[in-house]
Structure 1
Amino acid sequence: MRHMALTYVVTGANSGLGFATTKALTDRGGHVVMGVRDEKKGRAAQARLEKGSSEVRVVDLADLESVRAFAAGIERVDVLVNNAGVMAPPPTLSAQGFEVQFAVNHLAHFALTGLLLDRITDRVVTVSSVLHRKGRLRFDDLNAARGNQAYNQSKLANAVFGIELDRRLRASGQKIRSVLAHPGYAVTNLQAGVQEGLYRTLLLRLGNPILAVPAEQGARPTVFAATEPGVQGGQFIGPSGLGEMRGAPGVITPAPAASDPENGRRLWAVSEEMTGVRPGLGDPAAR
């Protein structure tokens, strides 16, 4: 009997870390549903893949209605990779009126995970950032942060969500794993959306040439988190080198704020309220 290839759903799959992740997964024989905002760019990226199989499907993560439509079209998924993101763009709101970085980087992936939960067979991988360590969740006004502060907040939200999802999956007795990953410091077109100014100049002209690794290397922790059989729920996979900037994938320790159960409960509740998606996983502390 022929073994069926694993099906992966990867958001932001047409460029940067998303494309590098998609290529690594298809090279391993996987089937990847490429979640992309622009179908033309998605098709062009798909044409660059050499092995495995893939399909292109459009999803605008800045619009929760688009996320719902995308999820409704997914029949089977073994591994969901919540990868796509935006970084320090000019002040922008999502279709539902939320600060766009929090909306795209966290809320859309919270909603997508919840909508697909009954079809996921193996694991959810949520891509955070080393900058989650600099983030702070402004529960009094999650839309207030701007620029790189909002980016750091959204990446902390990714980490809090991934760990809280693991808690709730374990408490409900499900075998699905929730795993976190971050790329270290990688060169991607995520940075092309950064608002003009000193931060963009330092990032693109100084930081990238000196410190950054190529997207293919930056994707290694995500691919490891998505494919290694021994990865456990709740683990955070990142580069093992100095400052978690580069190096072979390894298990890292998240910032204390990421593993704080109270942050997890509060973020889960507000995410359900903002997205209207309720994954059906109760609070373990309420049992």
Structure 2
Amino acid sequence: MFLPLRRTRDGFEMQMGTNHLGHFALTGLLLESLLAAPRPRVVGMTSGFNQFGRLPLDDLNAERGYNRYLAYCHSKQANLLFSLELQRRAGQRGVLLQSLAAHPGYAATNLQYAAPAMSGSRLGRWAMKVANGAFAQSAEMGALPALSALTEQRWYGGAYVGPDRWLETRGYPAAARIPRNARDLGLAARLWALSEELTGVRFWSE
């Protein structure tokens, strides 16, 4: 989260490679097994920061410049776009797979400490400790939206689940607001095609 510029073993920008491209490839590789299950569900984990993403499909790998904060937002926008597009393509094909998305709100985990640790910022570590103590909910509460999306029958394919209080930063699982930047079907289709090209994993292509 908000990492300095790093690249995965495959050469992808770390946040996009880890948060989206890896999940895209894993879903495609597991698809046959998922469809053999009686009621398969795929839950994509995104973040409330997805609403600030402006996905740069012409520079997904941050070759022309890098902003650690925007890169995280872009990767989380990609998560939500993929989850919703996966549901759309499942419906087109008449398969029973349900694709949902969830976000944890603001949960106190070690995720917030990764960037300060990588950059060696003592001030950053201190600031995150103070912010987590003052504003964050527990990691256990943050896990509830994903668990709810995965296990509760009240949710349907295409649902987006997050905390129900204080701008979706804390609370119990409820329907979350899908931001406008995740409703762009053309963008979702282009992201899918680019993800296939970059990962070499192709499924449900259009």
TM-score by length of 1: 0.65
Change (3 A) 1:164 1:147: same
The one-character-per-residue Cα deviations of 1:213-237 (angstroms, maximum 9, x if unpaired) are 1110000000000101221001100
Structure 1: gaps of 5 or more residues? 1-86
1:143 aligns with 2:143: no
> In structure 2, which of residues 188, 192, 197 is the aligned counterpart of residue 264 of structure 1?
188
Counterpart AA for 2:154: G
Letter in 2 for 1:167: R
How far apart are the structure 1 equivalents of 2:10 and 2:133? 37
Distance in 2 separating the partners of 1:250 and 1:198: 36
> Is there any run of 5+ residues in structure 2 with no aligned partner, and where?
none
What secondary structure sits across from 1:244 in the alignment?
Answer: coil
Supply the distance in 1 between the matched residues of 2:123 and 2:81 (Cα, whole angstroms).
Answer: 26
- Tell me how far apart the structure 2 counterparts of residues 243 and 253 of structure 1 sit (CA, whole Å): 10
| Partner of residue 201 from structure 2, selected from 257, 263, 277 | 277
Letter in 2 for 1:213: Q
Give the SS at the match of 1:171: helix
In the alignment of these two chains, the number of paired residues is: 196
2:162 is paired with a residue whose SS is: strand
Other-structure match for 1:127: 45
Name which of 101, 105, 109 aligns with 1:188.
Answer: 109
Are 1:160 and 2:160 matched, yes or no?
A: no
Shift of 1:202: 7.3
Distance 2:88 2:123 in 1: 36
1:235-246 maps to which residues of 2 (within 5 A)?
Answer: 235-246=159-170
Matched to 1:107, the amino acid is L
* 2:145/2:162 contact within 8 Å kept: yes
User: How many Å separate the matches in 2 of 1:184 and 1:116?
Assistant: 28
More helix by share: 2
Choose which of 207, 228, 233 in structure 1 pairs with 2:152: 228
Question: What secondary structure, in the 3-state scheme, does the structure 1 residue paired with 2:108 have?
Answer: coil
| 1:206 positional shift | 3.3
> Counterparts of 1:88 and 1:131 in 2: how far apart (Å)?
11
CA offset digits 1:98-148 (Å, max 9, x no partner): 101000000000000000011113100010000001111011101224312
Shift of 1:244: 0.4
TM-score, scaled to structure 2: 0.90
In 1, distance between residues paired with 2:71 and 2:134?
A: 25
1:145-200 deviations in whole A, cap 9, x for unaligned? 43121111100100000001010011010101000000000011111211445993
Larger strand percent: 1
Q: 1: CA distance between counterparts of 2:180 and 2:122?
A: 30
Decide which of 80, 88, 91 is 1:170's aligned counterpart: 91
Shift of 1:207: 1.9
Amino acid at match of 2:153: P
Q: In structure 2, what residue type is equivalent to 1:94?
A: T
Alignment match, 2:136: 212
Point out which structure has higher relative CO (alpha carbons under 8 A, 6+ apart).
2
What is the Cα deviation at residue 254 of structure 1?
1.2
Shift of 1:208: 0.8
Measured in 1, the distance between the counterparts of 2:122 and 2:195 equals 32
